[in-house]
Every structure is written in C-alpha cells, then in structure tokens.
Structure 1
Amino acid sequence: MATQDKTLENTQLKDIVSHAKEYGFVFPSSEIYDGMQAVYDYGQMGVELKNNIKQLWWKCMTQLNQNVVGLDAAIFMHPLTWKASGHIDSFNDPMIDNKDSKKRYRADVLIEEKAARLENEGNKEACDALLAEMGRLLEAEDLDGVRELIIREDIKCPVSGTTNWTEVRQFNLMFSTQVGSVAEDTSTIYLRPETAQGIFVNFLNVQKTGRMKVPFGIAQIGKAFRNEIVARQFIFRMREFEQMEMQFFVRPGTEMEWYNKWKETRKVWHEAIGIPAAKLRYHDHEKLAHYANAAVDIEYQFPFGFKEIEGIHSRTDFDLTQHQELSKKKQQYFDNDLNEEGKPYGNYIPYVIETSAGADRLFLMTLCNAYQEEEITEGDAVKTRTFLKFHPALAPVKAAILPLTKKDGLPEKATEIFNDLKFDFNMIYEERDSIGKRYTRQDLIGTPFCIAVDHQTLEDNTVTVRDRDSREQVRMPISELRTYIDKAVNFRSILEKLA
C-alpha cells in the first residue's frame, strides 16, 4: 500500500511540474544549454502568481500591523556580518555519500524521509522516536552516530539500493565570491544565505528614523543563496530562492507570548488564501538552532509529503548581541514606557520573534493546492477536466475577454471592454479557436472569469460571465463587470479575514 501511495505521489508531482512548464509558470533555467540543477525561471504566468503572493504577504504584514514596517537590504554585506551570525562557523549540513552510486545526500533528510514512511504506515511512535534520536545526535554533533543510525534503520540509497555509506561530514552552504577591481586587492564576501541579517544590522536605523516602539517588526522580501548539494522536488529546494521574513522585536521575558501569537497568526494566513486546514500542521523542532529557544515549522502536505513552508522562531537576543560585540556598536533600545508601568527606565537588547516563509515554497504550495482533476459530463461523454483552482486574488490573470466570433463587430466591442477593465485587472484578450477551447485554456492557467461577447452584447450591452470553478454562466450588464470581478479578486477579501 505504501508503495502504491508513493507511486501516486510521484505521478501527481510529475503532472504538476509538466503543467507548470507547459502553461508558462516555471521553466528550467538556461534550458537551451541543458539547464542547471536546482535553478528555475518563472514564466509569464508564474511571475504574476509569485508577485501576487508576495504583494499579499507584504500588505498583510505592513498594512494590517501598524507596528510593522518594511526594508530592502542589500544582498552583499560586510563579511563580519556572517561571522557574527554564526554562518561562517556553523552554517553546515550533514552530508553522506553512497559508495556504489557516487551520489551525495543530506543525512538528516534521509532519516526524515524514513520517519515519514513510518508515519504513513501508521507507526507514529516509531516515527517520533527516530526523529528524536536524530535530533539528539545532531545536537551532540555525533556524526558517527548519525551514520550508525542510517545503517541501523536500513536506509538505502535511492539509486543503488545499497547501504554502503561513507562517513557523515559537515558541508558549509554559503556561496563566496571576490570583491575588488585588482586581483591582489580583492577580499572574500558572501552571497547572503538569509535575509534576516540585513534587518538586524538596520535595527537601530529603522527604530530611530521611524520612532518605533518595542514591540515592533521589520519585514523584508529578498533573494538568498545556498549551495544546496541535494536539491530536488522541483522548486521546493533551490540554490537561489526568495524569502519573505519579518523580525519582530520584543521585551525580554515576553517572547513566548509573541511567539505563540505569530505562530497562530501565520497559520491562519495560509488558510485565508485557500489552503485547507487539514493539509497544514505544526512541527516543533527537535533540534534548535544555536540562536533559538523555541522553533516551529508550518508544514503543508505536498504530493511528496508534509514539508516546511514557513518557520516561526524565537531567536532570543542572539543576533543583536553578536552584532554588538563584533561591531562594537551598541544595539540597545531605551524603553521609556517601562517608567510608566512603575519600572525603572531601561536599556536592553530586544528579543526577536521571526516569521520566515519561502516565496518559492508558497508558490509551489499554491500551485499544488490549485491543481485539480475532475470528471465532467458533456453530452453523453464523460471526460477529465484539468484546471487550476487558485484563490481569485492570487490568480495570475483575473479575467479573459472572448469575442464569440472574429466578425460582425464583436472583436471591436470586446476590445472596448478589455481597454476599460485593463486599468484595474490583469486581463487576457483572445479570439482564436472555438469558445470551448478558449474556456479550457483559461481553466488551465486558473483564470477565475471568462467574459463572452456575443451578438446580444451589441444589442443590450450585456455579456456572459463564466465561473471557472462551477462552469456556471450568468448574464450581466457590462457596467457591472468591474464591481463583480473586483469583489472576488481584491486582496480586501483576504485582509478582512485576517484583520
């Protein structure tokens, strides 16, 4: 049964990957040169979907929260930034090679996949015990113990099918490059492996210029880079990716209250964009990062299992303290509100609650969740209909204007409607092929509404609007189109749920 489930999962993912390429969502990067592993380009539909996800996240963070503001820090940062953050010394993954296949794997991922199989087989107790043992070994940096655990659990190489493993070694994930115009004058800098440090080094800049009071947050969307040796599952794990992070600065001692608040808030956000609650879950970290005193992942049930889409971490005062010590610049906040509460005025380094989501993983989650196949009856025939059921606010294209024919003045009328609505919505105008084929094409890219312009339109200024999900059609005046579409696709419908 488990093998059948795994085959089904692989088939579902392959179908989604194929669909993403065929309809302009995601392309392999540099494909004409046979591409690069774990690097992808977003096509004409993909870039619209990804931008909608990012814009919605940004509005939810900065518009709904008066105490959260934005930032756009540089990718290149002073090398000491990464010394202070611990990335130079400890940003590693435990890697293991199979001697027969010559393939390299992340040791922790191999164990996690075995644990996931145990859980799928109904053996939750064994799954939890295996993850706990792995967490203990990694925490103790017992790499020999990790290798022994892999062998004891009979974890085989997916390619060779053997357990002929090398020792486990740590591999640093940062990309480095040289800066300077003269060879002998160059120095090593790094492509940032995360966006968070750009927020930390600007903590006081934002706090002072914005007159921000703790608690407050700084949000940022930006590219990050990691030299992932094991990159697979489409865009889930890439070497170049985009993060959407918010660092929320709080008084020491209040961090767990805010940790729980943001943990709940972020899960509700995913549900608000149309992700079923049954496909989301929390996963508490067995092994905490060196900067954290609490950490949880929000996981989504992809075709390849439950995987992390967002992390919420209580980072304590680690980052600001480290930057203060290495830069010799004070990172303290003067809290004059303490005096109003009967406490002495105080300088302190704030604690930090982090929410960190991958834009690419949220894109993949949205695409997987939207991909639908259903049986429909047309006349006497039963056929399979494939469509993308995006939340209308996230859909790349909001509506398609489709003249019934290419003559009798219908294209001119349809163009008039298109030109009026294009200022408010991302639209498509199409007049090629039968109306049925055009409906199908719009279903395949997830367009919520198709607007058919026919001969009756010329008589009474009404059009037929087809709903993507139900395939039902309603007749309405052209004058009502803007309000009708806007009600469904406006971010307001999501923001109101979250407010």
Structure 2
Amino acid sequence: MPAPNIETIAQLAKRRGFVFPSAEIYGGLASSWDYGPLGVEICNNVKRAWWRWMVYERDDIEGIDTAIIMNRLVWKYSGHEDTFSDPLVDCRACKSRLRADKLENHSGLPIEQAIAAGAVKCPNCGSTDLTEPRPFNLMFRTQVGPVAAEDDPSALAYLRPETAQGIFVNFLNVQRTARRKLPFGIAQIGKSFRNEVTPGNFIFRTREFEQMEMEYFVRPGEDERWHDYWIEQCFNWYTGLGLDPKNLRLYEQPPEELAHYSKRTVDIQYRFFPEREQEEKQWDELMGIANRTDFDLRAHSKGPVDAEGKRLNPDSTEDLSYFDEATRERFYPYVIEPAAGVNRSVLAFLMDAYTEKESERGEKRIVLRLHPELAPIKVAVLPLAKNKPEIVRMAKEIKRMLQPAMRTVYDDTAGIGKLYARQDEIGTPYCVTVDHQSLEDEAVTVRDRDTWQQVRVKVAELTEHLKKRLNLKC
C-alpha cells in the first residue's frame, strides 16, 4: 500500500533528511522547502532518468538550458501578461485569500454568480461573505538594473513561470545548429516560479519549483497522432520507474479548462490524496501533455498578420516558421508538450514506494521500495562489529571499491538491526555486511531491501553482482 497521505511522507522526509522547511530557524516561508542530503539525490536521480530517457536514448531530441530572466516581451507575446492568472477572492470574515475555482460550489451556477448569491462558503471559517473574484497574475515581478520598474518601465522583468518559452524563442537556433528536420524535440530542465494564491500540501504545490519539459515540433495534421504517442510514452515512463498503474489515470481536460494555446490537453494524474472520501477528489495532476498547436511559434514571429494586414508581433526580429526542403513548403510547426514537475514527481515516487512491513519481532518497519535508479543511496556497507579494527578496515575498503560504480555509504553508528531499518526507511536497495567470517573467506552478506533475503558474495565479485542486481545504466 502507498502512503496514506502526504503528511506521512512530509514527516518521513524531514526525519530522514529528504526535505526541510526553508529557513526554519526564522519561522520558515510558506510553501518554501530545502532539499536535504537524500532529497537532492532523489531529485537528481529523477532528472537524470528523465534526461536519459528523453534525450540520450532517442535520436530526435536535443537539450537546451535557457535563462530564468528573459526579455519582458517574451511574456507579453506568449500571453502570460494578460492571461496567466488565477481568480482570487477574499473572505471578509476571516481575511483568508482563496482561489475561486477551488471553492466548493454545488449550486449549479457559475462561480461568480454562486458567490454573489451566498451559495459558496469559506473553507476556513464557513462564512459566505466573499468578495467578487478578480484576476491575480501569477508571475513574480522583478527589475533589471538599478532603476525601479515603477520609474522606468523598461526595467520591468519577470521570473519565468515556465521553461517552455525559452525553448520557443530558440526554435530556429536549435533547428539550424543541430540541422534538424521535423519531427524533432527540444528538452529542458529548470526552475520556474509562480506566485500561487494557495500553495501547500508539502512539495505538491510550491511557488518555486523545477520543471522537466519537452517541446516536440511536428507538421500540422500529424499533431494528433504524435499527441497520442507522447501520452502513452509518458505514462509508461512513470510505471517503468515503479509507479503502480492503479494509482495513475489519464484525465482529458474539458474545453473550459484548456489553456488559451491548447487544442487538447491530457493530464497524467496520481492519487495524491487517498485519504479523501470522494474518489474523484483523490487525484491531481502529475504531468500534462498538451497539443499547443502553432500558437507559440506564431506568437513570437514577426511574420503573421491579422485580418487587417497588421503585424501581430511588431517587436520580433525573426520569423519562426519552418521551411521543408522536400516539399518546398513553409509553415509553423505544431507543438506537443509533455511537462512535469520534478518536485511533484518526487512526491509521487515517495508516496508510491512507501510500505509498512512487520519484522520477525512483530515491529512495524517502514520500507521505501524506490526503483533502484531513483534510490538516493544504492548500497550501504555495514560492519557487524565496529570495535573490531580489521572488520571496520575491510568495510571501508569495500565502500571505496564500490563508490566509483554506485552511490555507496558506510555506517557503523548503531547495531546491525537498526542499521538495516534505517537503510530500509530511506530506500537503499542493498546492504553489504562485513562480519568475522569475512576476514576468513573474503565474502560478505548482501541483504535485499524488499525481501530481506540474504546471500553470501565474494568481495572480488561484489561490484559486478550489485551492478547486475541494480541494473545500473551509465
């Protein structure tokens, strides 16, 4: 069974060094988190697994890393300045600020009318005295240079709310330098920032987060086939790294939920909230796969004109259309976009790996059955007797031997039972125990995290044995 709720994972994460509240000694900051020694490892492992699958193992995708702060005009023509907002309401009774689209509304009326009619309650105090919804732009504003944006509008800039636009404005740069023909993709991993009205639920929704996005450029008319292809591929990526298909589902966004650029969007949802009584409320987005049509490349191009012949983008210096040498056609490619959050993916992997198991003594043990590729630590080397210098010396030598091939740690800070339990709880797939017999037969005990079964392996064969069991990829 996966974790019963997010709070269970939050407690485990702090106790074992995955995630800490940011600046906790000063009271923290709402929805701001720091990743500890194990957290940074699992995040890096998720990103490495995604990059290898998306870029290294394919022949049609290039990587890129674009700036967090870009020219403000990028966000003007992408539509973010005008449309990237959430409906905000205030509760006059308790002063809470709430997202209107997340409030319980059983009236059958549109949310604006329901609030005006007093049919919607504040989830915090139960009052129906709510303000009229108003748009709240989610982008963080900043300034470039020494002059405040209020005094010099040209100094206004934003922290990027998504990584995708950096890919779109570099479409021709990548296409020309990499000599790519359609279809091909551009992938990026990087930080994004959204001034969420109601962040929360641990690392599920934060204002600062990391995205894994890929924009796949195709010919118009071939977009629907490629959209279906990437939906299947992305679903299989998650299950291939250990997520139970029973805790995943595909959600077709209805027309009223679609972003302004989207022809069709399908979310891969995970059961993040299994404790909720209503089954429908247990699910939320893990990854979105959108058909963005040709909206973005047209929006950033100097070429397109409106019905009156006026340029839609008078500021761009480049036409981002694509010329097909084979057919002698020029057109704007359609874009299929798989986009996932690193933080939310890590949360799903932790929740799904969480298991409670009973020991031979009847004690409850927590075991994180993480896929070996994602586990922060692959192997722990444990001396059976830390007061025996020769055993400690041999254990440390084995740790140094394994370290170049896999993430390995040495631990002698408790008895062997507690050491095993500690490694189970942080998801370490294998423990290697050095005992008195090891000094005689040059062999060690290898313990499996999931089955607790043990086998004896010669030290000379240990590295290859573990690499095979872990199925390590370079």
TM-score (norm 1): 0.86
Paired with 1:386 and 1:157, the residues of 2 have a C-alpha distance of 37
Report what 2:146 is aligned to. Answer: 181
Choose 98-107 or 8-17, whichever is displaced more: 8-17
Shift of 1:83: 0.4
Instruction: Write the distance in 2 (CA, Å) between the matches of 1:58 and 1:230.
Output: 31
Q: How far apart are residue 488 of structure 1 and its match?
A: 3.5
Partner residue of 2:65 out of 54, 58, 72? 72
Partner of 1:126: none
Q: Does 1:367 align with 2:350?
A: yes
Query: Secondary structure of 2:89's match?
Result: strand
Q: CA RMSD in A?
A: 2.1
Q: Confirm or deny that 1:226 pairs with 2:194.
A: yes
Alignment of 1:57-96 (within 5 A): 57-96=50-89
State the distance in 2 between where 1:329 and 1:297 align.
Answer: 33
Contact 1:93 1:106 in 2 (8 A): yes
Q: Per-residue deviation at 1:100? A: 1.9
TM-score (norm 2): 0.91
The structural deviation recorded for 1:397 is: 0.3
What does 1:50-449 correspond to in 2, within 5 Å? 50-111=43-104, 144-145=112-113, 147=115, 152=119, 155-182=120-147, 187-286=155-254, 287-303=257-273, 305-325=282-302, 326=313, 327-338=316-327, 345-378=328-361, 382-406=362-386, 407-449=388-430
| 8 A contact 1:107–1:146 mirrored in 2 | no
Q: Residues 406-447 of structure 1, C-alpha deviation per residue, up to 9 Å, x if partnerless?
A: 215001111111111101111110112211111111111111
Secondary structure of 1:455's counterpart equals: coil
Question: In structure 2, do the counterparts of structure 1 residues 463 and 64 end up closer, same or farther at CA, with 3 Å as the change threshold?
Answer: same
Name the structure 1 match of 2:13: 20
Cα shift readout 1:454-487 (whole Å, capped 9, x = no counterpart): 1111111110011111111111111222122222
Equivalent position SS for 1:166: coil
Deviation (angstroms), 1:14:
2.0
Structure 1 position 182, deviation (Å): 4.5
User: Which residue of structure 1 lines up, in the alignment, with residue 278 of structure 2?
Assistant: none
Q: Deviations over 1:18-76 (max 9, x none)?
A: 11001000000111100000110000000000000000000000022200010000101
Alpha-carbon distance in structure 1 between the residues aligned to 2:180 and 2:3: 49
Following superposition, the deviation at residue 110 of structure 1 comes to 2.4
Residue type of the partner of 1:163?
Answer: T
Q: Secondary structure at the match of 1:440?
A: helix
Instruction: Answer yes or no: is the 8 Å Cα contact 2:188–2:214 preserved in 1.
Output: yes
Query: Deviations along 1:255-281, whole A, 9 cap, x unmatched?
Result: 101000001110011100000111000
Q: 1:64 to 1:232 in 2, by over 3 A?
A: same
Please give the secondary structure, in 2, of the residue aligned with 1:36: coil
Moved more, 323-332 or 259-268: 323-332
Q: Secondary structure at the match of 1:236?
A: coil
Deviates more, 1:300-309 or 1:168-177: 300-309
Say which is worse superposed, 369-378 or 16-25, in terms of deviation: 369-378
How many residue pairs match? The answer is 449
Q: Supply the AA of the counterpart residue of 1:99.
A: R
Structure 1 position 169, deviation (Å):
1.3
Structure 2 residue matching 1:249: 3-state secondary structure: strand
- Give the partner amino acid of 2:301: Q
Q: Which runs of 5+ in 1 are unaligned?
A: 1-7, 116-129, 138-142, 339-344
Distance in 2, Cα, partners of 1:163 & 1:383:
49
1:70-122 deviation per Cα after TM superposition (whole angstroms, max 9, x unaligned): 000010110000001000011010122222221111122224xx79xxxxxxx
How far does residue 11 in structure 1 lie from its aligned partner after superposition? 6.7
1:479 paired to 2:460 = yes
Which position in structure 1 is the counterpart of 2:28?
35
- Distance change (3 Å), C-alpha of 1:272 and 1:251: same
Moved more, 222-231 or 102-111: 102-111
Separation of aligned partners in 2, 1:255 and 1:335: 16
1:334 and 1:146, CA in 2 relative to 1: closer, same or farther beyond 3 A? Answer: farther
Deviation at 1:168, TM superposition (A): 1.3
Checking the alignment, whether the CA contact within 8 Å between 2:3 and 2:354 is kept in structure 1 is: no
Determine the C-alpha separation between the residues in 1 that align with 2:265 and 2:46.
24
Q: Using the alignment, how far apart are the partners of 1:66 and 1:256 within structure 2?
A: 21
- Structure 2: where are the runs of 5+ without partners? 275-281, 303-312
Q: For residue 158 of structure 1, report the CA deviation from its aligned partner.
A: 2.7
Q: Note the C-alpha offset of 1:164.
A: 2.8
- Contact kept, 8 Å, 1:295 with 1:312, in 2: the verdict is yes
- Deviation of the 1:242 alpha carbon: 0.3
- Partner Cα separation in structure 2 for residue 257 and residue 269 of structure 1: 19
Q: Deviations over 1:327-373 (max 9, x none)?
A: 141111111233xxxxxx10111110000000000011011111111
Q: Assess if the C-alpha contact under 8 Å between 2:47 and 2:212 holds in 1.
A: yes
CA contact (8 A) 1:76 1:189 kept: yes
Distance 1:12 1:255 in 2: 38
Identity of aligned residues (%): 48
Conserved 8 A contact 1:393-1:488? no
Q: Going by fraction, where is helix more abundant, 1 or 2? A: 1
Task: From the superposition, tell whether residues 272 and 232 of structure 1 become closer, same or farther in structure 2 (CA, over 3 Å).
Answer: same
CA distance in 2, matches of 1:210, 1:226: 32
Give the Cα separation in 1 of the matches to 2:95 and 2:438: 66
SS of 1:144's equivalent in the other structure is: helix
